[in-house]
A and B are shown apart, each in its own frame.
Chain A
Amino acid sequence: MSAHSVNEPSSRQKWIAGALVIAYALITMIPLVWIVATGFKSPADAISYPPKVLFEPTLEGYVNLFTTRTRQTDEYLAANPPQTWYEEIVRQYDMVIVGPSRYGERFLNSIIIGFGSTFLSIFLGVLAAYAFSRFRIPLKDDLLFFILSTRMMPPIAVAIPIFLMYRQLGLSDTHLGMILLYTAVNISLAVWLLKGFIDEIPREYEEAALIDGYTRFQAFYKVVLPQATTGIVATAIFCLIFSWNEYAFAVLLTSGTAQTAPPFIPTIIGVGGQDWPAVAAGATLFLLPVMIFTVALRKHLLRGITFGAVRK
């Protein structure tokens, strides 16, 4: 080990570096902590100034996020005592729950569209990248540039034509339409990233498999794909982050059935103004899937890095 450390940092340097890292982490964590905390505040605490660091946590935000409520007369309230803990929360404001909100649906839409388009981008991207990496294709460079060029225009610049096209094709406000759209945006990134990763895998591995009696597709599936796991995981995370967070197209092209969470969250309105705890609760839940996805696949990312250390 000592052979590697050219300059062993002094304990003072280590201390400063540690402090800087902690300071940086705190600064970047503040918005996140703020959102998560606000989700557990009461509406009054959420808008109090100066902001409350210590507060009495409540699940009001989450209850409001998932329910629709209405005011009721005192007679009604007296005749129907609350049955559950969440009804009790709502009763503080003389309200009753009349049904679920649309957040669950929108969240599910986000999952279907986000993961659907990620899967499709990776599936098509990996096949295209493999072909670009391994075969002699006429005009290969021009084709690759064309694929990259589809990414050059800001998506919003083509939003209106796409809106019109989608209306004609009946793809407006459909899951399929959104999956295709996000795939179209992601595919260029996927092809380029994956081509780089596949280029790194020596051809000899597949050639060995071809010689060993496997077909080209089997060689690809059994030898190249396991080698490309790192690249595929990294690319999938990028694709998912884009389609999960995408707002502009979602606002324009979805309003009902296929609306995703991002355009829905700002529409969460409470009685008598914005219901900030509910908005914060929606945002907190919205953060989770990408986080879980990334953390779950982190193992593959790390394993891929150690693979790279092996001599080729």
Chain B
Amino acid sequence: MAARCGVAALDRAAGPVIERLLASLCHFCRQIRSRSWMDDLTLAEIVIKNLRKEFGDFTAVQSSSFTIADGEFFMLLGPSGCGKTTTLRMIAGLELPTSGEIYIGGEEVGQKPASQRDIAFVFQMFALYPHMNVRRNITYPLVSQGMPRAQIKQKLDEVARILGIEAILDRPVGGLSGGDRQRVALGRAIVRDPKAFMMDEPLGALDAEFRERMAEELRALHDRMGATTVYVTHDQLEAMQMGDKIVVMNHGVVEQFGTPQEIYDKPATMFVADFIGSPSMNFLRFGGAVTEGASTVTLDGSDFTVPIQHEAATGELVLGVRPEHVVLSDAASYRGEVRAAEYLGTTQIITLATPNGEVKARTGAAELVRPGETVGLEFLPSTLTLFDEKSGRALASDLNAGAFRHG
């Protein structure tokens, strides 16, 4: 009893002290983390606020906002011409925004030249200086800082070791393979310990086989350094595979912003649902009405359970279902005719004609179907998303409530 009182008293007295101790421990940990691989690596959060870019009459980026957390591997994803590269170039300082703000590590840099932003950029075509050898390419940023030669040499050796390019330092960049060029470009980027890395489709110029390996290397490098990375790609698989967070852009607009899982499971718009996933989400179009709190929709006379709806809608609606959430079931009242089956080894993609349009189902490869045969279809209720066809927007429901972080 006395002991317990004592502990309580001690607890009360020590509370603030422990708190302070914990706080400084956290601070210390963060410092250790930031010093884990190079002495003066500074990490940075990047905040984009209402960023807009116009080229004459053409609006490349329309009022985008999102936040890239410190140390995140962040993907800017979208089809070509969607404004993702322009956004990246604005963060890097290669384009100046028409309006809006960019914060890197708390500092507003929107109108500052690239050289003052302390970031590194990896270009799709690598952009190695062709008139210099590998060594000079990598050390060029340090030379511009006026770093002493001995220190430059030390940095160069360190970077060369990390990337495994010690053997090619004296080679001209002209004769290097795609992968080695990519490594040199990365070396030029990391040698400077920048606040953040910008990468514009850095794997786009590599052949498929090599791309896979470089993607792994890149991700491993990021995990090791923990530096904020902004990565532009049009390849949704690459984005899902490598990214901590993804921004999906289309026509200069941020369609959705979230983790790969959120984007895949809870698409905010039909564009995102269609763009992410292969084969992409099935859209079953139907006319009707959904009330707030509804948990079923009716397609062609069959009822389907959906997550409880948070908003009402009428008119042209779309039921979105991922191919892997389509289940073939003889008992189901909703029927579809098998058009084709693509065998993929462990799974197969079955294309079906339904009263509400074509549906692709991903099923086990063992399931036997023949083209022309009619089968029953069920959809996994908790995974379904309803869209308003006109606006393309997902209707809020139990599934996706709170997941949407529009720009």
Contacts of B113 in A (CB 8 A): 210, 215-216
Q: Is residue B74 within 8 Å, beta carbon to beta carbon, of the partner chain?
A: no
Q: Is residue B22 within 8 Å, beta carbon to beta carbon, of the partner chain?
A: no
Sorting the interface of chain B by its residue count into under 10, 10 to 19, 20 to 34 or 35 or more gives 20 to 34
Q: Would you call A207 and B114 a contact (CB within 8 A)?
A: yes
Q: Is residue A4 within 8 Å, beta carbon to beta carbon, of the partner chain?
A: no
| Contact indicator per residue, chain A 204-217, by CB within 8 Å of chain B (1) or not (0) | 11011111111110
Q: Is residue A12 within 8 Å, beta carbon to beta carbon, of the partner chain?
A: no
Q: Would you call B140 and A212 a contact (CB within 8 A)?
A: yes
In angstroms, how far is the closest chain A Cβ from the Cβ of B113?
Answer: 7
Contacts of A241 in B (CB 8 A): none
Q: Is residue A202 within 8 Å, beta carbon to beta carbon, of the partner chain?
A: yes
- Say whether, besides A207-B94, A208-B129, A215 and B115 are in contact (CB < 8 Å): yes
Q: Is residue A294 within 8 Å, beta carbon to beta carbon, of the partner chain?
A: no
In angstroms, how far is the closest chain A Cβ from the Cβ of B326?
Answer: 45
Q: Would you call B125 and A202 a contact (CB within 8 A)?
A: yes
Which residue of chain A has its CB nearest to the CB of B126? A204
| Contact indicator per residue, chain A 292-309, by CB within 8 Å of chain B (1) or not (0) | 000000000000000100
Q: Is residue A118 within 8 Å, beta carbon to beta carbon, of the partner chain?
A: no
Q: Is residue B79 within 8 Å, beta carbon to beta carbon, of the partner chain?
A: no
Contacts of A310 in B (CB 8 A): 130, 174
8 A Cβ contacts from B126-140 to A: 127-131, 140
- Say whether, besides A208-B121, A310-B174, A213 and B127 are in contact (CB < 8 Å): no
> With A and B bound together, what is the CA distance between A204 and B114 in angstroms?
13
- Say whether, besides A212-B192, A213-B115, A207 and B130 are in contact (CB < 8 Å): no
> With A and B bound together, what is the CA distance between A69 and B292 in angstroms?
115
Of residues B93, B113, B144, B188, which shows the largest number of chain A Cβ atoms within 10 Å of its Cβ?
B144
Q: Is residue A226 within 8 Å, beta carbon to beta carbon, of the partner chain?
A: yes
Q: Would you call B129 and A211 a contact (CB within 8 A)?
A: no
Q: Would you call B188 and A202 a contact (CB within 8 A)?
A: no
| Contact indicator per residue, chain A 180-216, by CB within 8 Å of chain B (1) or not (0) | 0000000000000000000000101101111111111
> With A and B bound together, what is the CA distance between A214 and B174 in angstroms?
23
Q: Would you call A213 and B130 a contact (CB within 8 A)?
A: no
Partner of A214, one of B115, B120, B127: B115
In angstroms, how far is the closest chain B Cβ from the Cβ of A8?
Answer: 29
- Say whether, besides A204-B127, A226-B131, A214 and B121 are in contact (CB < 8 Å): no
> With A and B bound together, what is the CA distance between A210 and B89 in angstroms?
12
In angstroms, how far is the closest chain B Cβ from the Cβ of A14?
Answer: 33
Of residues B115, B121, B192, which shows the largest number of chain A Cβ atoms within 10 Å of its Cβ?
B115
Which residue of chain A has its CB nearest to the CB of B172? A310
| Contact indicator per residue, chain B 181-194, by CB within 8 Å of chain A (1) or not (0) | 00000001000100
Q: Would you call A211 and B114 a contact (CB within 8 A)?
A: yes
Partner of B129, one of A205, A215, A216, A312: A205
Partner of A207, one of B123, B131, B144, B174: B123
Which residue of chain A has its CB nearest to the CB of B94? A207
- Say whether, besides A213-B141, A213-B144, A310-B174, A208 and B115 are in contact (CB < 8 Å): no
Q: Is residue B145 within 8 Å, beta carbon to beta carbon, of the partner chain?
A: yes
In angstroms, how far is the closest chain B Cβ from the Cβ of A35?
Answer: 41
Partner of B94, one of A210, A223, A226: A210
Q: Is residue A64 within 8 Å, beta carbon to beta carbon, of the partner chain?
A: no
Contacts of B120 in A (CB 8 A): 211
Contacts of A204 in B (CB 8 A): 123, 125, 127
Q: Would you call B127 and A212 a contact (CB within 8 A)?
A: no
Q: Would you call B188 and A312 a contact (CB within 8 A)?
A: no
Q: Would you call B94 and A212 a contact (CB within 8 A)?
A: no
Of residues A210, A216, A218, A310, which shows the largest number of chain B Cβ atoms within 10 Å of its Cβ?
A210
Contacts of B130 in A (CB 8 A): 205, 227, 307, 310
Q: Would you call A312 and B131 a contact (CB within 8 A)?
A: no
- Say whether, besides A205-B127, A208-B127, A214 and B144 are in contact (CB < 8 Å): yes
Which residue of chain B has its CB nearest to the CB of A207? B94
Q: Would you call B115 and A211 a contact (CB within 8 A)?
A: yes
Contacts of B129 in A (CB 8 A): 205, 208-209, 223
Q: Would you call B125 and A227 a contact (CB within 8 A)?
A: no
Q: Would you call B127 and A207 a contact (CB within 8 A)?
A: yes
Q: Would you call A212 and B141 a contact (CB within 8 A)?
A: yes
> With A and B bound together, what is the CA distance between A213 and B194 in angstroms?
11
> With A and B bound together, what is the CA distance between A307 and B144 in angstroms?
25
> With A and B bound together, what is the CA distance between A260 and B121 in angstroms?
53
8 A Cβ contacts from B43-101 to A: 92-94
- Say whether, besides A212-B140, A213-B145, A202 and B127 are in contact (CB < 8 Å): yes
Partner of B125, one of A210, A213, A223, A312: A312
Partner of B144, one of A205, A212, A216: A212
Contacts of B359 in A (CB 8 A): none
Of residues B119, B128, B131, B145, which shows the largest number of chain A Cβ atoms within 10 Å of its Cβ?
B131
In angstroms, how far is the closest chain B Cβ from the Cβ of A52?
Answer: 53
> With A and B bound together, what is the CA distance between A208 and B136 in angstroms?
14
- Say whether, besides A207-B94, A223-B129, A310-B174, A212 and B123 are in contact (CB < 8 Å): no
> With A and B bound together, what is the CA distance between A202 and B127 in angstroms?
8
Contacts of A208 in B (CB 8 A): 121, 123, 127-129, 188
Q: Would you call B127 and A210 a contact (CB within 8 A)?
A: no
> With A and B bound together, what is the CA distance between A159 and B120 in angstroms?
55
Contacts of B119 in A (CB 8 A): 211
Q: Would you call B121 and A207 a contact (CB within 8 A)?
A: yes
Partner of B114, one of A210, A226, A312: A210
> With A and B bound together, what is the CA distance between A102 and B255 in angstroms?
79
> With A and B bound together, what is the CA distance between A92 and B192 in angstroms?
78
In angstroms, how far is the closest chain B Cβ from the Cβ of A218?
Answer: 8
Contacts of A212 in B (CB 8 A): 115, 140-141, 144, 188, 192
Which residue of chain A has its CB nearest to the CB of B137? A208
Contacts of A216 in B (CB 8 A): 113
Could you show 17 A-B contacts with beta carbons less than 8 Å apart?
A207-B127, A208-B121, A209-B129, A209-B140, A211-B93, A211-B115, A211-B119, A211-B121, A212-B140, A212-B141, A214-B115, A218-B144, A223-B129, A226-B131, A307-B130, A310-B130, A312-B125
Q: Measuring CB to CB, which residues of chain A are less than 8 angstroms from any residue of chain B? A: 202, 204-205, 207-216, 218, 223, 226-227, 307, 310, 312
